[in-house]
A and B are shown apart, each in its own frame.
Chain A
Amino acid sequence: MSVSWLPDWVGATESFTLSSGDDEWPGARPVDWALTGEGLRRAHERLRELPVRRIVDVVDVVAERWAKRDFPLRRKAVVDAVKVTGMSEETVDRALDAEVGNLRTGSLLAALERELGDPEVLDGFRGGTRAIGPRVTLAVFSGNVPGLPARSLVRALLVKSALIAKLPAKEPNFTAAFLRSLHEVEPVLADAVVATYWSRSDDTTLSAALEQADAVVAYGSDQACAAIRAKVAPHQVYEEHGHKLSFGIVTDAYARLHGPAEVARRIAADCSDFDQHACLSPQVYLVDRRHARAVAEHVADAMRRAASDCPPGTVDEDDAIVLQHRRINAEWRAASTASGEVWAASGLEWTVVLDDALLPLSGAGNRVARIVAVPDPAAAVELMRPYARHLQNVGLGAVGEEFWRIADQLARVGASRIAAPGEMSRAGFAWRHDGQPRIAGLVRWCDVENHPESAATEG
């Protein structure tokens, strides 16, 4: 099945092939982007006729189908994602549960209301104001977490924008499959999306696609985002999801309240979800030093159990070399310091490192739980400060007044999300993704002011 999604109205195309190991997936991309842009703007006009509530209802129906693990399109997408990402089927399924589970009526409306007040400002003037989405949005996706493209795709459709989706080579199958089921429920939505692929080095296609867009959403490394940002014109709305870093904190009170075994279970969940490939996954848990060793010992058991509940993915050779190199360095550090220790599976399935310094590091994905002992929460916050520019998500294990005090400090340092330990990887749809309103960020407002007609309506 093709990894691309091209509505019937798209004219001439050229084919491409994406491969992973022995598996190959064909796809097609439009040849004439000016023509494609015209088609998308026409599709946008039809999309604009749908009330926002109708769009919400359609997405909800599709999400309901996708929420069932045995839904055939989902099964196929999961099997394909396993082949490309090397993740286990259970890991991919959990990623889709987290992403697609977000797309139900309740959370869609909550996000719309949070960011726009009254969602119906997207349909016409309400209380003297009106919100207009872009005609066409270009979204360049990254593939570190299966299902991640759904989030920005649905946001664009909610504001009635047509969309050019650039598929990630590392997880190319989900988007087109999702759009196929969208087409079954409401063709007007799916016909407003062109999902295709071009290589990162293909500047010509990127520029041609970009020329058709009123808004641009970029996911990926800082370098990949910078390459896109350099091409964005002043009239284009630009949103970026660049490199991000996430941490966890466990305070003395939290550790005493829940006990080391339960705290460890939560830390292990955060470090195991999506094989720790998500930017929401913690790189380090900063744990009060009175509990760090006890917690770390339990984390080793919890990582083992998490691995049997949800098997880790295969680690490719490059990643394996990096991980083993880090593990050996951590083992040397543990042997040469009084308080460090390393626990690990016999293979590369999981690693737990206890240390008393943030640097040098041993962790970067593939289920490495790094527990660093800190004297108090203030020290934990200080350790994060140098990374403020990239700080994203914090799993904050703190209680009561102390929770709010640390949360406030983290917000000021630069965190854009604070979740409970064990809940770090499941970001809600209403979350202001990376600290900005992502629905309101796409729209332009028109207010009626100082006009007798407005006064009459308001009255």
Chain B
Amino acid sequence: MTVAHDDPHVHRLFERLALLATDRQGDPDALHEQLVELAVANSPEVARYWKQVGTGVGVPADAYKDGGPHLFPDEPAVREFRTSGTTGAVRGRVRYTRLGLALKGIAIRANARRALIPDPVEPAVVVFAPSEEAAPDMAIAFDMARIREECGDPHYSASVIGAGGVDYDLLARTLDRAVADEVPVVMVGASFAYVNVCDRLEAEGRRWELPPGSRMFDGGGFKGRSRVMRVDDLRDSVRRVFGIERFGNIFGMTELANQLYDSSDEPVGPLGERPKAWQHFGGPRVRDPRTREFVTEGRGLLEITDLSLLDRPHVLLTGDLGIAHRDGVAIAGRVAGSTSRGCSLSLDELTGGQ
């Protein structure tokens, strides 16, 4: 028997999940069980999948290229995001219902409040991503807007990517004002955007010494990009241009509600990727590539549990490589389509992994 979006049970579940996200209150294991029950009740395909692979095993992110499982398919979507489609031409669609989108917003704000600004100040939040109005189908625009609302002093904050790319004048005005009034700046945005911005500003010989307490957070990495940068090289170049000393990485996915922040500054991945830790709302774990058991050390398939996800199964196999470590899990890029052997080729190498 399926459970409707407007069923009181779903509302109660929403309230409990929101409380877990904001105040860390509630029993995560019990909430996990309730989300499992909801997925089994509302999605026959998830029920069949879990029967085959074991209950609670992550649904592969590739499922969303074909539409994917939605737990409230009859409920109108209030927002539909497109996935980035980095591995090929196919871009998935991810639907959010009213409650689902509200919960995502709550989760993002709560994480940002905890991880982004530990100091008791309202910084200037400078977003290197399009605004929500400009890119309503981009999840990163939604996420960044929530971060800006939650943490940023509205007078000093700005989204500096417009229709024509980076608005360098707006960026300069925003930073100049923050420097003049000694307001710390928190930069958030796409990893690759920083590379372009720093390249250009360094070439023009422009730099800022941002006020103490300023920070830079990047997300998205370099998948599908022509240039790949080590974490510390990116940070060095941001340090040179903006005089920032504190950094962090944010892992978010269109399919997920919560964003994951670094749990330590120890380089763990091949490009120096920092680990992300398991928390009250779930987080990353690594499955052994041979047995599918969770491992506490070593490489395997990244699985993320997200106890703020109402519209889809809350456990996702992202298709990324995870490296389990004492301090959490470093996320080290997409799992390769395949490994080529001499003259032997696999079909999807020819089709871009569609």
Contact = CB atoms under 8 A, between A and B. Distances in A.
Interface of A: 142-145, 168, 170, 219-222, 241-245, 277-279, 281, 283-284, 315, 317-326, 328-329, 331-332, 334-336, 342, 347-348, 358-361, 363-365, 387, 390
B344 A365 contact: yes
Contacts of A358: 347
26 contacts: A143-B342, A144-B343, A241-B343, A245-B347, A245-B350, A277-B344, A279-B342, A320-B289, A322-B336, A324-B290, A324-B292, A325-B301, A331-B53, A332-B59, A332-B63, A335-B45, A335-B49, A336-B48, A336-B49, A336-B63, A336-B69, A360-B62, A361-B346, A364-B346, A387-B350, A390-B350
B300 interface: yes
Contacts of B52: 331, 334-335, 342
Given A325-B319, A332-B63, 16 more contacts: A243-B340, A243-B343, A244-B345, A277-B342, A279-B342, A321-B299, A322-B336, A324-B289, A326-B338, A332-B49, A335-B51, A358-B347, A359-B351, A364-B338, A364-B349, A390-B345
Nearest to A334: B52
A277 B339 CA distance: 10
B321 interface: yes
A284 B335 CA distance: 22
Interface residues of B, number: 45
B295 to A, nearest CB: 12
Nearest to A223: B340
Contact of A142 (B51, B335, B343, B353): B343
Interface of B: 45-46, 48-49, 51-53, 57, 59-60, 62-63, 65-66, 69, 287, 289-292, 299-301, 317, 319, 321, 335-351, 353-354
A301 B49 CA distance: 22
B348 A364 contact: yes
B321 A321 contact: yes
Given A168-B342, A358-B347, A390-B350, A347 B49 contact: no
Contacts of A359: 347-348, 351, 354
B344 A281 contact: yes
Given A329-B60, A336-B49, A321 B301 contact: yes
A336 B45 CA distance: 5
Say what secondary structure dominates the interface of chain B: mixed
Contact of A221 (B337, B342, B354): B342
Contact of B336 (A220, A318, A331): A318
A99 B170 CA distance: 68
Contacts of B301: 321, 324-325, 328
Given A324-B301, A358-B347, A277 B289 contact: no
Contacts of B65: 360
B43 to A, nearest CB: 9
B345 A245 contact: yes
Contacts of A347: 290-291
B304 to A, nearest CB: 14
Contact of B299 (A242, A317, A334, A365): A317
Contact of B343 (A242, A329, A334): A242
